[in-house]
Structure 1
Amino acid sequence: MMGKRLLTLMLALIVVLAGCVQTKSDVSGEKEKGDTKGGGNNGKVTIELLGTSSGEADMNIVRDQLIKNGFDVKLNIQPDYGSFKAQRDAGNFDIALSSWTTVTGNPDYAVRSLFKSGGDNSDISDEEVDKLIEKASTETPDEYQETYKQLEQRLVVEKAYIAPLYNSFKAQGVNKDVLNPKTVRLAKSRAIAWETIDFNDSSKRETLALIAQQAIGSLTSLDPIKGNDGSINTLNTNMYVRLVNLTDDDQVISDGSLSYNYAIGEGNNDYYFILRDDINFAKVEDGKAVDTGERVGSDDVVFSLNRAKDKNSVPDHRTYSLHESIKDIEVVTDLSELENVKLSGGEGSIREALEKGLDANITELVGDKTAADSHAGKYQVIKVTTNEPFPQVLNYLAHQSAGIVSKKQVESINTYDVANFNIDKDIPYGDQRTVTEGSTYNNHLYASGPYILVKKNDYQADFAKNPVYRAGSEFEPNISNVTVRFIQDADSALSALRNGEIHFFNGVPETKYDLVENDDKLVLQKNDSNAVAYLVFNAGDRDVAKSENLRKAVLYSINQDEFLNYYQGNKKKAYSTVSPLVNTGNELVADPAKVKEFLAEFQAE
């Protein structure tokens, strides 16, 4: 009996200690008195570092570097992203481990959402930062290098809004006994495209599901404008077609998109897209993907992009800042406009550019999508106009948030009042509850892309091929069904790959490359990436929010060489989220003397 009682007490103690939010400080985000300026800590400054269990190695390196430079460190390690976000939203941190991948391949995306005042993911409000972001957005690559250099310096050394850690490579392991590795893409920026993937034995396309993996199982939203994170980027990329796409090395193309061609008008304000007429929306009936009978067309494009750029079109809009450069979206029905507008940076007209490679030249522009007939030369053309010259708009139009949704379907679901939206009673388009197995299941999705999500649970999400997506073309999906397993831990995902439980793993840890390379049934694919890890400072009411000196003391404690050594040279130095895209020449060098100086100035404030 004594042993059982002791075990019960020990288990109870473990439950209490494991609780994420227990104290008033934890819940409200208030700091306990003396936490920062040395109350009870031998006069040392205490820094609370927030992260997830998957980032524990990075947290330990940062902790050791801070301790070496005279700080005390409190680790706040959360088991998953949802718990991490709750802690971050509550302000329970001084510095938080963060990361960003520029999935659009352009530097504006690497800064606008994160650092511009009012940005979707920004805690910064700095007029100089805003000016530099806007200035760079109107410049060509030859011009914007110096502007982004100045922006980085403002973000890092002048104000210490972030502390960069490293730039990652991108690597995935592929089961070459099951999949043809040549069909599995590894793009620098965009999420993986499932439609190209094929089995070695093509006879299994209908009977065997492609099994993929992702870490996050709680999906932000299946409405493409309401999410921009690792839970939905790949899923929405494969569910919604866009006006353009990115190649594996970040070039804008029409391949695999809704447009046959695109062209930029003289002055770089007007962007024209000639639409395909061979894609219909799919829906789910009786657990299968079926044709809705509704073509994807110009009215859906205008509707989708107008709501994408309107902050108030949906509650909790996560991607509006990516599309705020857009002024107007319209359907062009006057053929003479295409003939009279000159092509940017070259000779010829917009019409000539749009007609390149078409089976039939343009004879008529139609406003009704059901009247489009490319074989007869009847096409739909969309014109996107930007507020200022902004060639990088094309990269944003390739992002998953610019996915084309059904105007008819979304309007039929989103009947709530946006200003008075109530999450407890209003079910918006794309809410994961509608695809979750059980009493809440009521799949209302319409997919314009190659796949549609059929159902999900806590362990996986099941997708089916859109039967009316580019049927008969090289872009028709090869494999009929895709299962995405939710495996949070990278080591567990790698084990699942090696055991044949998943067919590929996008995200092989740098320290485990050799395990894949030495496995006879696997192949390691590796590429540069736009992923950057960095520390973000609390911008609320903690001392790091108020004191540049304290932030700079943390900044100069960071030694990037130690990260590179830990990851066996499979990381690169970074200065900001722009680092993988623009060579600014900036570099962060750890400096204990500066740490000591800034700490002294902070404690004297």
Structure 2
Amino acid sequence: MKKILSLLIIAVLLLGIMTGCNVQTKDQVTGGNTSETSNEPVDLNLLAMSSMEKDANILRDQLSKAGFNVKLNIQPDYSSYVGQKDAGNYDMAITSWNTVTGNPDYAVRSLFISNGDYNDYGLVNEEIDRLINEAATQTSDQYVATYKTFEEVLVKENAYIIPLYSNYKSQAVNNTILKVDSVRLSKSRSLPWENVDFIDESKGNSEPLIFSQTMPSLTSLDPIKGNDGSINIINTNMYVRLVNLTDNDEVTSVGSLSHNHAIGEGNTEYYFILRDDINFAKVDNKKAVDSGELVAAEDVVFSMDRARNKDSVPDHRTFTLHSSMEKIEIVTDLKELESKKQSGNASSIKDGLEAGLSTTIKELVADKAQVSNKDGKYQVVKITTNKPFPQVLNYLAHQSAGIVSKKQIEAVNTYNVATFDRNKDVAYGDQMTITEGATYDNTLMTSGPYIAIYKNDYEIAFQKNPGYMISTSHEPKVSNIVVKFIKDADSSLSAFRSGEIHFLYGIPEDKFEIVENDSKLTLQKRPNNAVVYAFFNMKGGSEFSDVNLRKAILYNVSQEEFIAVYNNLKINAYSTVTPLVDTGNIHLKDHSKANEFLNMYWESKE
């Protein structure tokens, strides 16, 4: 009996020594893999904005359980997040992408093609480039297989991204103040402010409509210099475009600068007949005034040329979206419209452009001073693409295709792009020019329904463009809009419920029930095109340039856990293409694969 007791004591002591040791074994790190190639956990610096802190915590917990040493780098806003990313202070970062144009090319080109606007993390893959360009020329019934292969190369073969989930687009309306049916919820398009109206319509000229947004730092009010949540909604409502998207992502001319558009045979020529009831707005003594300058064909040509030219402005963030455009020109020969046929249609381009017009085309003019739609004098712009590319219309509906004033841009942007110095040169659309104080010098001229008047630390104010589609259904219903800067989601909801703001974008899923149980609030939601994912820093000899290490992380991530945390109000995703194209690809956590790839990574380090 004493001998047995002694053996038990020795066993307990040995166990205590082992469990007291702080060094993890390889078995502990890999969750059971018995290879002895290493016993060190992999350090991982995970970057995210505070608005995605919950996602960062879920991902950290999953990877920590798998043996990774995860350190969170949570930044308070988008500007700070970008600063950390640009400085390379991350191994993996969480982000989201919303395909606001409703077409799959937008879901991939800027993010994953070599040298894309938002591909600044070291992804270079010739096969991915080829697949993106191939799919861009295909119709919707053809590109499903191409995008399926693209996703497999992006995720399965290389683990360039870690898909986390897709989600619902949500917003809520105070139904005691606003007409609920005037507040549209589109799948992709930002909310058109000009449609929103008070229940008491008399308030439209006397009281401001009040929204909120989380990001107080605005990237740029020049539509081609930003493509993020700080300005997408704002620039969409400050600059008109050649076409729009319907609430279900169909391209339409309704509410745009064009009466109609038509596609020529071969899908490389796109024609737009312009309306003549939109003038640029400008700001005078903090008041929106009609500049008297027609938004015309020369402004369209200028705007599209600078949109497609990478070197037209410093830090151009949207040029790849418009790289398919080879030539933009004003059509003055009426015979061209009469002789050319529409794509898939026996009728002429002229027939397509004239559909529904009260006055037919009698003359095409280049000079904006000669335009008179009621007299049959129109302007027509033609865009020619470098290859058949119907998706160009979706890009023309994007905020970056907003029409700017040629005259004003050339007057303001007198700097040399190659030697631009942000410390002394002032670019059109810089937020400091509308910020109250010493830097205020509002030089905006906007073609859309609203123009920004001023900005401070607490809000940005807009006024109705007095020269925008007057006496039509698209004339803005409300004269003044104020967007409050409220960073915290709970604070935004509190302000909304108390009536301080009339409308709230982006209701968190765990707050749906609160809104639905409040009789004065109406929740609107639908699946949208946004996908949340993580990507790696693969620049400068990063450890995460190793594909096996990335795959080890990929297969340790469970989307089902994310969805469960969000009460099943998230949707599985495989890539940013998922909401637009059903490729059949799905991501599943696989513990054995994760261990296999982690083991291969360690072996390569020996």
TM-score range, shorter chain: over 0.9
- What is the CA-CA distance between 1:542 and the residue it aligns to? 5.2
1:184 aligns to what?
183
- What is the CA-CA distance between 1:135 and the residue it aligns to? 0.1
Say if 1:360 and 1:375, in contact at 8 Å, map to a contact too: yes
2:484 alignment partner, SS class = strand
2:40 aligns to what?
43
1:136 aligns to what?
135
Q: Distance in 1 between matches of 2:540 and 2:134?
A: 31
2:294 aligns to what?
295
1:88 alignment partner, SS class = helix
Q: Distance in 2 between matches of 1:133 and 1:591?
A: 28
Q: Distance in 1 between matches of 2:274 and 2:564?
A: 50
Instruction: Return the letter of the residue paired with 1:414.
Output: N
- What is the CA-CA distance between 1:195 and the residue it aligns to? 0.2
- What is the CA-CA distance between 1:546 and the residue it aligns to? 2.1
Residues 1:86 and 2:106 are matched in the alignment: no
1:110 alignment partner, SS class = helix
2:17 aligns to what?
none
- What is the CA-CA distance between 1:42 and the residue it aligns to? 5.8
Instruction: Return the letter of the residue paired with 1:77.
Output: I
Say if 1:211 and 1:484, in contact at 8 Å, map to a contact too: yes
1:76 aligns to what?
73
- What is the CA-CA distance between 1:287 and the residue it aligns to? 1.2
How is 1:234-383 mapped onto 2 (pairs within 5 angstroms)? 234-383=233-382
Residues 1:472 and 2:471 are matched in the alignment: yes
- What is the CA-CA distance between 1:68 and the residue it aligns to? 1.7
- What is the CA-CA distance between 1:509 and the residue it aligns to? 0.4
Instruction: Return the letter of the residue paired with 2:231.
Output: I
2:188 alignment partner, SS class = coil
Q: Distance in 2 between matches of 1:102 and 1:542?
A: 31
1:199 aligns to what?
198
Q: Distance in 2 between matches of 1:542 and 1:188?
A: 40
2:382 alignment partner, SS class = strand
Residues 1:440 and 2:439 are matched in the alignment: yes
2:193 alignment partner, SS class = coil
1:170 alignment partner, SS class = strand
How is 1:407-418 mapped onto 2 (pairs within 5 angstroms)? 407-418=406-417
1:63 alignment partner, SS class = helix
Instruction: Return the letter of the residue paired with 1:561.
Output: E
2:205 alignment partner, SS class = coil
Residues 1:456 and 2:455 are matched in the alignment: yes
2:556 aligns to what?
557
2:92 aligns to what?
95
RMSD of aligned alpha carbons: 1.2
Q: Distance in 2 between matches of 1:97 and 1:172?
A: 23
Q: Distance in 1 between matches of 2:560 and 2:480?
A: 44
- What is the CA-CA distance between 1:369 and the residue it aligns to? 1.2
Instruction: Return the letter of the residue paired with 1:219.
Output: L
1:115 aligns to what?
112
Say if 1:366 and 1:378, in contact at 8 Å, map to a contact too: yes
Say if 1:105 and 1:581, in contact at 8 Å, map to a contact too: yes
Q: C-alpha deviations, 1:418-460, integer Å up to 9, x for none?
A: 1111111110111111000000000000010000000000111
Q: Distance in 1 between matches of 2:250 and 2:149?
A: 26
2:228 alignment partner, SS class = coil
Say if 1:222 and 1:430, in contact at 8 Å, map to a contact too: yes
2:570 aligns to what?
571
- What is the CA-CA distance between 1:202 and the residue it aligns to? 0.3
Q: C-alpha deviations, 1:334-370, integer Å up to 9, x for none?
A: 0000011101011100000100000100000001112
Instruction: Return the letter of the residue paired with 1:573.
Output: N
2:391 aligns to what?
392
Q: Distance in 1 between matches of 2:542 and 2:306?
A: 39
- What is the CA-CA distance between 1:78 and the residue it aligns to? 1.4
1:62 aligns to what?
59
1:401 aligns to what?
400
Q: Distance in 2 between matches of 1:328 and 1:447?
A: 24
Q: Distance in 1 between matches of 2:150 and 2:529?
A: 18
Q: Distance in 1 between matches of 2:369 and 2:556?
A: 62
Instruction: Return the letter of the residue paired with 2:400.
Output: S
1:10 aligns to what?
none
Instruction: Return the letter of the residue paired with 2:74.
Output: I
Unaligned runs of 5+ in 2: 1-28, 31-37
Instruction: Return the letter of the residue paired with 1:60.
Output: N
Q: C-alpha deviations, 1:130-176, integer Å up to 9, x for none?
A: 00000000000000000000101111011110000000100101100
Residues 1:512 and 2:511 are matched in the alignment: yes
1:220 alignment partner, SS class = coil
Q: C-alpha deviations, 1:310-347, integer Å up to 9, x for none?
A: 00000000000000000000000000000111010111
Q: Distance in 1 between matches of 2:156 and 2:489?
A: 33
Q: Distance in 1 between matches of 2:432 and 2:75?
A: 24
Residues 1:428 and 2:427 are matched in the alignment: yes
Instruction: Return the letter of the residue paired with 2:89.
Output: N
2:194 alignment partner, SS class = coil
How is 1:525-536 mapped onto 2 (pairs within 5 angstroms)? 525-536=524-535
Q: C-alpha deviations, 1:470-499, integer Å up to 9, x for none?
A: 000000000000001111221211111111
Instruction: Return the letter of the residue paired with 2:574.
Output: Y
Q: Distance in 2 between matches of 1:539 and 1:214?
A: 32
1:521 aligns to what?
520
Identify if the C-alpha distance between structure 1 residues 542 and 50 changes in structure 2 by more than 3 Å, giving closer, same or farther: farther
Say if 1:543 and 1:550, in contact at 8 Å, map to a contact too: no
Q: Distance in 2 between matches of 1:198 and 1:42?
A: 64
1:132 alignment partner, SS class = helix
1:160 aligns to what?
159
How many residue pairs get aligned? The number is 567
Q: Distance in 2 between matches of 1:481 and 1:446?
A: 17
Instruction: Return the letter of the residue paired with 1:315.
Output: P
Q: Distance in 1 between matches of 2:51 and 2:297?
A: 43
- What is the CA-CA distance between 1:544 and the residue it aligns to? 3.9
Residues 1:585 and 2:584 are matched in the alignment: yes
Instruction: Return the letter of the residue paired with 2:65.
Output: K
Instruction: Return the letter of the residue paired with 2:117.
Output: D
Overall identity of the aligned pairs, in %: 59
Q: C-alpha deviations, 1:228-274, integer Å up to 9, x for none?
A: 00011000000000000000100000111000000000000000000
1:537 aligns to what?
536
Q: Distance in 2 between matches of 1:369 and 1:125?
A: 45
Which entry has the higher C-alpha Rg, 1 or 2?
2
Q: Distance in 1 between matches of 2:52 and 2:385?
A: 39
1:31 aligns to what?
none
Say if 1:308 and 1:320, in contact at 8 Å, map to a contact too: yes
- What is the CA-CA distance between 1:87 and the residue it aligns to? 1.0
Instruction: Return the letter of the residue paired with 1:73.
Output: V
TM-score (norm 1): 0.93
Q: Distance in 1 between matches of 2:268 and 2:602?
A: 51
Unaligned runs of 5+ in 1: 1-36
Structure 1 stretch displaced more, 534-543 or 479-488: 534-543
2:482 aligns to what?
483
Say if 1:537 and 1:544, in contact at 8 Å, map to a contact too: no
Instruction: Return the letter of the residue paired with 2:191.
Output: I
Say if 1:329 and 1:385, in contact at 8 Å, map to a contact too: yes
Q: Distance in 2 between matches of 1:64 and 1:445?
A: 47
Say if 1:544 and 1:551, in contact at 8 Å, map to a contact too: no
Q: C-alpha deviations, 1:67-101, integer Å up to 9, x for none?
A: 12221211111122221111111111111011100
Q: Distance in 2 between matches of 1:53 and 1:346?
A: 52
Q: Distance in 2 between matches of 1:561 and 1:427?
A: 48
